[in-house]
Chains A and B, each alone.
Chain A
Amino acid sequence: DAGVTQSPTHLIKTRGQQVTLRCSPKSGHDTVSWYQQALGQGPQFIFQYYEEEERQRGNFPDRFSGHQFPNYSSELNVNALLLGDSALYLCASSRTGAVIRNIQYFGAGTRLSVL
């Protein structure tokens, strides 16, 4: 049983470019959340997808957008990249309706460097 998988593992972009990150949730999970983690900081919540819709959103600009597919996999898109977008992007999956809420399993992350 594969856990949460993310691709790519590393990515280098330049300012102004656009990037797409991908996430496949753990088997049996239907909810995907995305986090941005700057070096030395805790993860910051970007948004959460369930039933192909954005259900919750953190304090991130509209440059950050996402999508969830019928197979529950998800994409995170960032437009007009800024140097400050350099971070580890984490995907976490969970199962809505679980007995204990919000038990998330994290992927290994995508390291994005913006030059």
Chain B
Amino acid sequence: KNQVEQSPQSLIILEGKNCTLQCNYTVSPFSNLRWYKQDTGRGPVSLTIMTFSENTKSNGRYTATLDADTKQSSLHITASQLSDSASYICVVSAFDDMRFGAGTRLTVKP
């Protein structure tokens, strides 16, 4: 069973709208959590990195939150743009062990 579960699996929104992606994990002990954006056929690019003591981190229109008690994270995208269409992958690290979620496929339509 994957220790990092992402939802929804896919999402379609209209340009300019906001959306929130979810990541639940059971990885332990927790070291850090990262959100990556991956364009089709390309390598993942880091959006945010959060350690145990951080509960929110922003990168432009992307804001990630972390609740280490409930082992949940979310990625909120504000005022979506067509270029936000990509897969968003949650990665949770436990010291030298990393676990990848399967990703959420986001499509932004005009």
Chain B positions within 8 Å of A109 at CB level: 41-43
Give B25-47 interface residues, CB cut-off 8 Å to A: 31-32, 34, 36, 41-46
Q: How distant is B76 from chain A, measured CB to nearest CB, in Å?
A: 20
* Segment at the A interface, from B12-20, B55-63, B88-96: B88-96
Instruction: Check A101–B100 contact: CB distance below 8 A.
Output: no
Q: Which residue from A6, A42, A105 sits with its C-beta under 8 Å from B102?
A: A42
Instruction: Check A105–B89 contact: CB distance below 8 A.
Output: no
Summarize B's interface: helix, strand, loop or mixed: strand
Q: Which residue from A40, A90, A102 sits with its C-beta under 8 Å from B43?
A: A90
Given A40-B105, A42-B100: A101 in contact with B93 (beta carbons within 8 A): yes
Given A100-B32, A101-B31, A102-B93: A43 in contact with B42 (beta carbons within 8 A): no
Given A100-B32, A103-B49: A56 in contact with B43 (beta carbons within 8 A): no
Interface residues of A (CB under 8 A from B): 4, 6, 35, 40-45, 56, 88, 90, 92, 100-109, 111
What are 29 A-B pairs with beta-carbon distances under 8 A? Answer: A40-B102, A41-B103, A42-B89, A42-B100, A42-B101, A42-B102, A42-B103, A43-B89, A43-B100, A45-B98, A90-B43, A100-B51, A101-B31, A101-B93, A102-B93, A102-B96, A102-B98, A103-B46, A104-B98, A105-B46, A106-B36, A106-B43, A106-B44, A106-B45, A107-B43, A108-B42, A108-B43, A109-B41, A109-B43
Interface residues of B (CB under 8 A from A): 31-32, 34, 36, 41-46, 49, 51, 89, 93, 95-96, 98, 100-103, 105
